[in-house]
Amino acid sequence: MTRKISIGNAPCSWGVIENVEGSRGGYAQVLDEMQETGYLGTELGDWGFMPTDPAVLAGELAARNLKLLSSWVSVKLHDADCHAASEADAVRTARQLATVGGPDCLIVLGNDPYMDPMRTFNAGRIRPDQGMSEAQWQVFAAGANRVARTVKRETGLRTVFHHHIGTWVETPAETARLLSMTDPDVLGLCFDTGHYRFGGGDPLTGLKRHADRIWHVHFKDHEPAVAARARQEGWGGVQAVGHGLFCELGKGDIDFPAILAQLRAMDYSGWIVVEQDVLPGMGSPKESARRNREYIRSIGL
């Protein structure tokens, strides 16, 4: 029997992006449009974007028949002095998730994006010599284990790590290394097709390689012409996103039918979350969300 996969979306598809300022609609508009375009669940978005009172948030989601799935939490795992604060932020968010969404929710850890100038500027073209030192890797992995173990102990929730452009874990090699250094009982992988592709990898290969650690999946397409221009012209990560690097599903170079077939072969059950990262005010998020949902329906979900 094929296990059930459900489809959600995330506020980043409406321009709610960490460390990127700009005008954007409020949470009510985002949730309304998510529900109207056919999604069943949502991620939380930046802390404070949605109501922080659990009862209020639960009511807003129930009114739209949306389930709370997970939440990105920005952490600074490369800096040991920030581990305690990262841990506290993750636990605060996990308590909200557990109360409102229940025990299957996930914390999505991502190192604070677009905050290191060198990694942000070189997103999509990171060389091995631009990575962390051995000592930095030890600090990073210890921080990831610490946060995930504390989240599990305090709230019962599991944690996944999100490889992400413009951070210290972007490339396939960096993703694999972090997984090799962390506790598979408490830390899984949030596999993002678009970030993996722009980070230099083949998403289908990555999906197969890390099948036993993938607990959460983000569907994000990748526009190859924009990616090529980003490399040729030396765009930074935010600039590439602003030029449409992460296009609507089915309009880039990621083979989503093959991705879906592999997920089913892995007996993946859980959520696929559409994340079409756009900058605040970019594009037409509701129309894109509708087309993205129609595309996923066309490939069998």
3-class SS string, 19-31: CCCCCCCCHHHHH
Residue 261 contacts by C-beta under 8 Å, 6 or more apart in sequence? none
Please check whether residue 58 is in contact with residue 51, taking contact to mean a CB–CB distance below 8 angstroms: no
**What pLDDT is attached to residue 16?**
87
**What pLDDT is attached to residue 1?**
41
**What pLDDT is attached to residue 15?**
87
pTM: 0.96
**Alpha-carbon gap, residue 217 to 193, rounded angstroms:** 8
**What pLDDT is attached to residue 66?**
98
Residue 157 contacts by C-beta under 8 Å, 6 or more apart in sequence? 94, 97, 98, 103, 105, 106, 107, 151
Spans of the chain, pLDDT less than 50: 1-2
**What pLDDT is attached to residue 238?**
92
**Alpha-carbon gap, residue 117 to 131, rounded angstroms:** 13
**What pLDDT is attached to residue 24?**
60
